[in-house]
Amino acid sequence: MRNLLTATAAALLVAGLGAQPAMAADDADAAVQHRKDVMTIAGASMGSLGCFMKGDCALDGKVLARLAKSIAFAGELSVPAFEVDTRDSMADTTALPAIWENWDTFEGGLNAMSAAADELAVAAADADPQAMGPLMQKLGGTCKDCHDNFRD
């Protein structure tokens, strides 16, 4: 175990010593996979919230609030995850070049998603679909805007 930690630390040190002219395929694939994993959290949480809103599953307020918070957290995680520009890689991704060409707009959208999810978390604590409805629409709108503009 000690050797693995030493090797990892050495690799990180060496990797940080100089700029790489191009991203290695494995690095791009790992960056894309990380982004997919983060977005899976948001999508799965949104799906569970939608299940509750449709009346198809019974979830208590504590669970609903945590689902909304997980979406907010996914938005926060997405900012550094998408900072890795994979435009010039061969990685299998649905991310459009517009992300990096319009970074401020993209980042603002992720921040709006997190803020809307945080608002929803407050209302979700009471498990009241009437109170949650407009906030679900607001959150869904942030997702749609991003997907329409930045996802293939």
Residue 6: inside a domain, yes or no?
A: no
Residue 12: inside a domain, yes or no?
A: no
Enter the pTM of the model. Answer: 0.81
Cα separation, 61 vs 78, in Å, equals: 26
Residue 1: inside a domain, yes or no?
A: no
pLDDT tens digits in sequence order for the chain, 152 residues long: 343 333 333 333 334 433 334 455 578 899 999 999 999 999 999 999 999 999 999 999 999 999 999 999 999 999 999 999 999 888 889 999 999 999 999 999 999 999 999 999 999 999 999 999 999 999 999 999 999 999 99
Query: CATH no. for residue 66?
Result: 1.20.120.10
Residue among 98, 95, 105, 109 nearest 31 (CA): 95
Residue 64: inside a domain, yes or no?
A: yes
Q: Which two tokens stand for residue 82?
A: 């998408």
Residue 36: inside a domain, yes or no?
A: yes
Ligand-binding site membership of 146 (annotated): yes
Q: Any bridge partners for residue 95, and if so which?
A: 151
Cα separation, 122 vs 109, in Å, equals: 20
In sequence order, the 6+-apart residues with CB closer than 8 A to the CB of 99 are 82, 106, 150
Whose tokens are 């749609």? That residue is 144
Residue 52: inside a domain, yes or no?
A: yes
Ligand-binding site membership of 51 (annotated): no
Residue among 105, 107, 116, 103 nearest 142 (CA): 116
Q: At what angle do helices 103-124 and 25-53 cross, to 10 degrees?
A: 30
Distance, CA of 62 to chain centre: 22
Count of domains observed in the chain: 1
User: How many other C-beta atoms can be found within 10 angstroms of the C-beta atom of residue 112?
Assistant: 18
Ligand-binding site membership of 143 (annotated): yes
- What range does the domain containing 57 cover? 24-82+95-150
Residue 19: inside a domain, yes or no?
A: no
- Output the pLDDT for position 5: 35
Biggest CA pair distance of the chain: 56
Q: Which two tokens stand for residue 32?
A: 């894309």
Residue 17: inside a domain, yes or no?
A: no
Q: Are 81 and 35 in contact (CB under 8 A)?
A: yes
